[in-house]
Amino acid sequence: MNTSVMEQEEAAAGGEADSQPTYSIERPVYDEAFIRSQLLHRRENSTTLRQRLAHRFRCSSKKAKAAVFSFLPILTWLPNYPVKQYMFSDVVSGLSTGVVQLPQGLAYAMLAAVPPVYGLYSSFYPVLLYTFFGTSRHISIGTFAVISLMIGSIVVREAPDSMFYVLSANGTNASAVLDVEARDARRVQVAVVLTTLVGIIQFSFGLLRFGFVAIYLTEPLVRGFTTAAAVHVVVSQLKYLLGVKTQRFSGPLSVIYSFKAVLFDITSTNVSTVILGLTCMVFLYVVKDLNERFKKKLPIPIPGEIIVVIVSTGISYGMFLSDVYNVDVVGKIPTGLLPPVAPEFSLLPNLVTDSFAIAIVGFSMGISLAKTFALKHGYSVDGNQELIALGLCNFISSFFQTFAITCSMSRSLVQESTGGKTQIAGLLASLVVLLVVVAVGFVFQPLPQTALAAIIMVNLLGMFKQFRDIPALWRTSKIELAIWLVAFVASVLLGLDYGLLVAIAFAILTVIYRTQSPKSAILGHVPGTGLYCDVDEYEEAAEYEGIKIFHSNSSIYFANSDLYVNTLKEKTGVDPEALQAARKTQKKLTEKANGDRNPSLNMCGKNKQQEVTHEVVSYDDVVEQQRNGQLGAGRRASHSEEAVFLEPPLTGVHSIILDWTPATFIDSVGAKAIKQVIKEYAALDIQVVLAGCSRSLLSELDSLQFFSGVVTPATAFPTVHDAVLRCRRSNPRTSAAPTDGPLPQIHL
């Protein structure tokens, strides 16, 4: 790809050599009044709103067909499926993926705190359904660690161990015993109804075209969040790896409680379990490394996970690990599928907020992966249809006792790298799982839980690499680093649900912060270019005498208008209040000197506005007299005396140009503040003009009735340079020395 662009640039460079293009503009100075009256005419819109609406909601067979095709994407690709070309790679990819689905399904069920077989169900139904509704050809739908963990923490919260202790009379002494079956049944109910809700939410969001909600999950947020999820997962799996029996915690600070519980019980570690678990981990890690290293040489990746499952099941079965060495095993796996059952909707009320979190995280994981693959392979995925597809997968499957799914990164990479071409690969993977469920599920009953914990942990090791983001973000963007850290810390400490909420709120606040704490500068002209730059930063930028150009890179609205005005006064060095006060004092001195000719003016604050006007008028008189060459020959002595007193505090600035090039919107508070400032400066005979307003900003100003009174369209200019030229010409004090072209004064 680089080649083409580099060639283009060479061509461009070549072009420059023979004829260097010139930026050449010669035109009168425009202001907004001229632009409106002479230059620009609004195009009449031929289509009315009604026509547009009618067009939008018109029904036609073509539209209906498109809607059906968009809802059932399988109709578009299956009829054209090139069997000869694609079938073989799809079969290979499907089988490979299925072989990964199986152990992941079993393992992630443990994360979701439900019996392993439900992980198998979840690896079958949704995967099958996605074939019909999905638009991505390469993602592998199914169980996913982060989502499973989120489900798990909710399930444990709603059905904690403590709810299921029953009194059992064992011979003589009665003791409280955990009723595991009742607990698991309840947990499955919770997970299933949660999944139904997630499905409904995703489906409705898809229908409402709410695919955009995923945008709030910005990349640093997602990476911080998933790193936190990895921490949660590792902590939650420690007990399985060590064979320690501790309670499972949920809610804020659960990570710390869980970790403490395992530490306190570390003495009861089962040595066989640890050895087996660590062996599995090392093996999986090596396989992962090999797969990575010999990616190109291996036709399909080594299925490390299924090997671990099969071998450890074999060992467990052969050596009676469960009975002799007391190693925890998966236990009962019923054969066959369950008939559909309506979810237990009475559990709904407590789960609504949680399911929103799961729905959004699930979707955003799915869509980001789908987009990556689509980009790589040159097709497009439809975000809203993906939401609908995920929603339907979750909703329908939940009637068959599954828990919420999305796509998993590791599995999708397997599916894609083994040559998967279409959704057929996913379909075949689901059939592999089905086969196991209906035929040989019972085989995995002796599978040690520690092997599954090893699978989960090794899968998540990659996420810890995301800690490397921290130094990288430190260099590129502190704000994004803050988002990462907030997402991570909040999600680790508060749990994934609240953590996500906090992180999203924080990410939104950073945007506010960015718009609200703008960088501001005084601009100067780079001579002869028409370009204006920060005078503090660039040597070439030079200010014009008497003109201050104030630039602030933000829009002006309620949360920053005060700041804008204050910075303006500070940066330009012209503070109307101070000047006004100085004027007042001098005025009083003048009056005292002249005797109290007009004592009423002094009496009461209410008359102050007239006072100011009076002052300005008299000052203007003086100026006019100066212009007419009558300096010193004022109508009354007091007038010229006032003028002498007034001159010094005016600081030599006659015009302030507000560069609104970066402003994209303004609200009534902002408009009022600016108008107020313009009036304040006008009272001091300093004109304030606007430059570089975009057309949309101008129409907002119009609807806010900004252009009225002292502020007219003639005080707005399309570019800073227009404003500068006009200000230099229009001000009487500089008109004494007219020069053509820019003649900048070097700024000290």
Is the distance from CB of 634 to CB of 621 less than 8 angstroms?
yes
When the beta carbons of 269 and 372 are compared against its own copies, the nearer one is 372
Q: Decide: helix, strand or coil at residue 128.
A: helix
Site for its own copies in 180-219 (CB under 8 A): 212, 215-216, 218-219
When the beta carbons of 245 and 635 are compared against its own copies, the nearer one is 635
207-210 long-range contacts, CB within 8 A, separation 24+: 207/384, 207/388, 209/384, 210/384, 210/387
What is the x/- site pattern for its own copies, positions 574-593, by CB under 8 A? Answer: ---x--xx--x---------
User: What is the smallest separation between the CB atom of 16 and its own copies, expressed in angstroms?
Assistant: 7
When the beta carbons of 41 and 318 are compared against its own copies, the nearer one is 41
Tokens 């050449």 label which residue? Answer: 24
Is the distance from CB of 177 to CB of 168 less than 8 angstroms?
yes
User: What is the smallest separation between the CB atom of 212 and its own copies, expressed in angstroms?
Assistant: 7
Piece in contact with its own copies (CB under 8 A), picked from 72-80, 104-112, 176-184, 522-530: 522-530
* 675: nearest Cα among 701, 694, 655: 701
User: What is the smallest separation between the CB atom of 90 and its own copies, expressed in angstroms?
Assistant: 12
When the beta carbons of 247 and 664 are compared against its own copies, the nearer one is 664
Report the alpha-carbon distance of residue 198 to residue 148 in Å, rounded. 13
Query: Hey, which residues does 547 pair with through a beta bridge?
Result: 655
When the beta carbons of 70 and 730 are compared against its own copies, the nearer one is 730
Write the burial class of residue 110 (CB in 10 Å: 0-12 exposed, 13-18 middle, 19+ buried).
Answer: buried
What is the x/- site pattern for its own copies, positions 713-742, by CB under 8 A? Answer: -x---xx-xx--xx-xxx-x--x--x-xx-
- Residue choice 161, 289, 570, 620 for contact with its own copies (CB under 8 A): 620
User: What is the smallest separation between the CB atom of 479 and its own copies, expressed in angstroms?
Assistant: 7
Q: Decide: helix, strand or coil at residue 690.
A: strand
Residue 241 has what DSSP assignment?
Answer: H
When the beta carbons of 28 and 318 are compared against its own copies, the nearer one is 28
Query: Where do runs of H (alpha helix) occur along 72-179?
Result: 74-77, 83-111, 116-122, 125-133, 145-158
Is the distance from CB of 558 to CB of 570 less than 8 angstroms?
no
When the beta carbons of 102 and 507 are compared against its own copies, the nearer one is 507
Report the alpha-carbon distance of residue 280 to residue 349 in Å, rounded. 41
Report the alpha-carbon distance of residue 242 to residue 278 in Å, rounded. 9
Query: Hey, which residues does 524 pair with through a beta bridge?
Result: 533
What's the maximum distance between 2 C-alpha atoms anywhere in the chain? 122
Piece in contact with its own copies (CB under 8 A), picked from 153-161, 185-193, 228-236, 607-615: 607-615
How many residues contact its own copies, by CB under 8 A? 146
Piece in contact with its own copies (CB under 8 A), picked from 120-128, 168-176, 440-448, 469-477: 469-477
User: What is the smallest separation between the CB atom of 526 and its own copies, expressed in angstroms?
Assistant: 7
User: What is the smallest separation between the CB atom of 719 and its own copies, expressed in angstroms?
Assistant: 8
Tokens 């975009």 label which residue? Answer: 694
- Residue choice 89, 445, 586, 590 for contact with its own copies (CB under 8 A): 89
What is the x/- site pattern for its own copies, positions 291-330, by CB under 8 A? Answer: ----------------------------------------
User: What is the smallest separation between the CB atom of 428 and its own copies, expressed in angstroms?
Assistant: 17
User: What is the smallest separation between the CB atom of 323 and its own copies, expressed in angstroms?
Assistant: 48
Q: Is 694 near its own copies (CB under 8 A)?
A: yes
When the beta carbons of 263 and 593 are compared against its own copies, the nearer one is 593
Piece in contact with its own copies (CB under 8 A), picked from 228-236, 247-255, 258-266, 618-626: 618-626
Strands 520-526 vs 531-534: parallel, antiparallel or unpaired: antiparallel
Query: Hey, which residues does 548 pair with through a beta bridge?
Result: 656
Q: Decide: helix, strand or coil at residue 537.
A: coil
CA–CA distances in Å: residue 180 to residues 114, 115, 155: 11, 10, 14
User: What is the smallest separation between the CB atom of 475 and its own copies, expressed in angstroms?
Assistant: 7
Residue type, 134: G
User: What is the smallest separation between the CB atom of 86 and its own copies, expressed in angstroms?
Assistant: 10
- Residue choice 65, 376, 635, 636 for contact with its own copies (CB under 8 A): 376
Site for its own copies in 472-511 (CB under 8 A): 473, 475-477, 479-480, 507-509, 511
What is the x/- site pattern for its own copies, positions 424-463, by CB under 8 A? Answer: ----------------------------------------
Report the alpha-carbon distance of residue 535 to residue 522 in Å, rounded. 6
Residue type, 194: L
Piece in contact with its own copies (CB under 8 A), picked from 277-285, 346-354, 486-494, 600-608: 600-608
- Residue choice 85, 168, 350, 353 for contact with its own copies (CB under 8 A): 85
Residue 244 has what DSSP assignment?
Answer: -
* 364: nearest Cα among 254, 183, 179, 202: 202
CA–CA distances in Å: residue 503 to residues 19, 225, 253, 484, 493: 54, 8, 16, 8, 12
Site for its own copies in 2-31 (CB under 8 A): 2-5, 7-9, 11-12, 15-16, 19-30
- Residue choice 163, 275, 342, 512 for contact with its own copies (CB under 8 A): 512
Buried b (16+ CB within 10 A) or exposed e, 198-235: bbbbbbebbeeebbebbeebbebbbbbbbbbbbbbbbb
Is the distance from CB of 531 to CB of 269 less than 8 angstroms?
no
Site for its own copies in 629-668 (CB under 8 A): 661-665, 667-668
Site for its own copies in 406-425 (CB under 8 A): 416-417, 419, 421
User: What is the smallest separation between the CB atom of 723 and its own copies, expressed in angstroms?
Assistant: 10
* Chain centre to alpha carbon of residue 682: 43
User: What is the smallest separation between the CB atom of 562 and its own copies, expressed in angstroms?
Assistant: 6
Is the distance from CB of 543 to CB of 633 less than 8 angstroms?
no
740-748 long-range contacts, CB within 8 A, separation 24+: 741/528, 742/525, 742/527, 742/528, 742/544, 744/524, 744/525, 744/527, 744/542, 744/543, 744/544, 745/542, 745/543, 745/544, 745/545, 746/542, 747/524, 747/535, 747/541, 747/542, 747/543
Q: Is 695 near its own copies (CB under 8 A)?
A: yes
When the beta carbons of 207 and 375 are compared against its own copies, the nearer one is 375
When the beta carbons of 175 and 609 are compared against its own copies, the nearer one is 609
Site for its own copies in 525-564 (CB under 8 A): 526, 528-531, 533-534, 536-541, 553-555, 557-563
Q: Is 468 near its own copies (CB under 8 A)?
A: no
When the beta carbons of 613 and 745 are compared against its own copies, the nearer one is 613
- Residue choice 300, 315, 682, 743 for contact with its own copies (CB under 8 A): 682
- Residue choice 262, 683, 690, 716 for contact with its own copies (CB under 8 A): 683
